[in-house]
Amino acid sequence: MSRIDQMFARLREQGECALIPYIPVGYPTVEGSESLIRTIAESGADLIELGVPYADPLADGPTIQEASLKAVSNGVNLKSCIAMVRTLRDKGLETPIVLMGYCNSFLAYGLDNLADDAKEAGIDGFIIPDLPSTMAKPYVEIFEARGLKNIFFLAPTTSEAREAAVVEQGQGFLYCISVTGVTGERKSLPAELRDFIHQARQVTTLPLAVGFGISNEEHVREVSEYADGAIVGSALINVIKQSEPHEIEAKAGEFIRTLKQATRKAATPI
């Protein structure tokens, strides 16, 4: 059983929702990145979505655009992201890690090389926001041959016919996009989200993780009532951005601990 499957199975037994923070590699600094990722993991992240910095992230709002650009200008590329995971694994980190990045970063690296190097480094899968299920086949074939998972998306706009096709290809978990729009903090979660997740639950046994707009512990608590994972990106980046350099790790760790606590009060998912 893969790290991702084990993690969701364990949490399901415990009646907990997975906390899935997103952080770009090399943000806010290259030197502090490894230690910050480890802090995030040790503070309660159940799976880490490591961002591969891309300067033109079409599905991201201003917060992640800025962080991603900062990491690019810090000189971070896909190769350094893979090296980062290798280092973390060498030092004993067992938290599941998926790389979140845009198609073109992966294409430029070469999909076969990517799959080989990612597997060897201890990466568990990929989240590629500009790779819809209709385009994914060549990628999935290469990833699957190495036991790497490609995480598929469901959006509020996904039709029933497409939902069936996505579910059929799904592996690891499904990334459920909470709202139409790009990533970024929001005041409240949409009222339809609960129904959207319940509807998806009818057609799949895969864990369902919700992302986009989850900004605070109330949101995480709400999502934990009906979903299996809560993905938090922009809100974490904003915590980091608002911290003095010397207190970034402490503040990020505290934020993750608070969010993780909010996942524990969940009712047992169906």
Partner 1 sequence: MEGFFGQYGGAYVAETLIRNLEELYGEYERIKDEEDFREEISQLLKNFVGRPTPISALHRITAELGGAKIYLKREDLTHTGAHKINNALAQAVLAKRMGKTRIVAETGAGQHGVAVATACSLLGMTCVVYMGAVDAERQAPNVQRMKLLGAELHLVHSGQKTLKDAISEAIRDWITNVEDTHYLLGSAVGPHPFPNMVRDFQSVIGEEAREQILEAEGRLPDYVIACVGGGSNSIGMFNAFLDDADVKLVGVQAAGEGLESGKHASPLLKGTHGIIQGSLTYMLQDEDGQILETHSIAPGLDYPGAGPQHSYLKDTGRVEYTSVNDREALMAFEELCRKEGILPALESSHAVAYALKLVSQLPKDALVLVNLSGRGDKDLSQAIAALEQLKNAEVLV
Q: Which residues are the active-site residues?
A: 49, 60
Among 129, 172, 229, 269, binds partner 1 (CB under 8 A): 129
Among 20, 88, 123, 131, binds partner 1 (CB under 8 A): 131
Among 43, 95, 105, 234, binds partner 1 (CB under 8 A): 105
- The count of chain residues that interact with partner 1, using the rule CB under 8 A, is 39
Does position 104 bind partner 1 by CB under 8 A? Answer: yes
Does position 11 bind partner 1 by CB under 8 A? Answer: no
Candidate segments 105-113, 227-235, 244-252, 260-268, binder of partner 1 by CB under 8 A: 105-113
Q: Which is nearer to partner 1, 175 or 255 (CB)?
A: 175
Among 132, 238, 251, 264, binds partner 1 (CB under 8 A): 132
Q: How far apart are CA 218 and CA 81, in angstroms?
A: 32
Kindly report the length of the chain: 270
Does position 159 bind partner 1 by CB under 8 A? Answer: yes
Q: Shortest Cβ distance from residue 15 to partner 1 (Å)?
A: 29
Binding mask 135-154 for partner 1 (x = CB under 8 A): x----------------xxx
Among 162, 251, 257, 264, binds partner 1 (CB under 8 A): 162
Q: Which is nearer to partner 1, 135 or 145 (CB)?
A: 135
Burial of 51 from C-beta contacts in 10 A (0-12 / 13-18 / 19+): buried
Q: How far apart are CA 97 and CA 157, in angstroms?
A: 28
Q: Shortest Cβ distance from residue 172 to partner 1 (Å)?
A: 16
Does position 158 bind partner 1 by CB under 8 A? Answer: yes
- Long-range contacts at 190-195 (CB < 8 A, ≥ 24 apart): 190/156, 192/156, 193/223, 194/225, 194/226
Q: Shortest Cβ distance from residue 217 to partner 1 (Å)?
A: 25
**Whether the Cβ atoms of residue 76 and residue 53 lie closer than 8 Å to each other:** yes
**Whether the Cβ atoms of residue 133 and residue 106 lie closer than 8 Å to each other:** no
Q: How far apart are CA 54 and CA 24, in angstroms?
A: 10
The secondary structure element, H or E, covering residue 60 is none
Could you tell me where the DSSP H helices lie in the chain? 3-14, 30-42, 62-73, 78-90, 103-109, 111-121, 137-145, 160-169, 193-203, 217-226, 234-241, 248-264
Q: Shortest Cβ distance from residue 246 to partner 1 (Å)?
A: 30
Q: Which is nearer to partner 1, 177 or 236 (CB)?
A: 177
Among 157, 202, 205, 268, binds partner 1 (CB under 8 A): 157
Does position 27 bind partner 1 by CB under 8 A? Answer: no
Q: How far apart are CA 115 and CA 192, in angstroms?
A: 37
Q: How far apart are CA 245 and CA 29, in angstroms?
A: 10
Q: Tell me the three state secondary structure of residue 180.
A: coil
Burial of 157 from C-beta contacts in 10 A (0-12 / 13-18 / 19+): exposed
Which residues of this chain interact with partner 1, rule CB under 8 A? 54-56, 58-59, 61, 65, 72, 77-78, 102-109, 129-135, 152-159, 162, 166, 177, 180-182
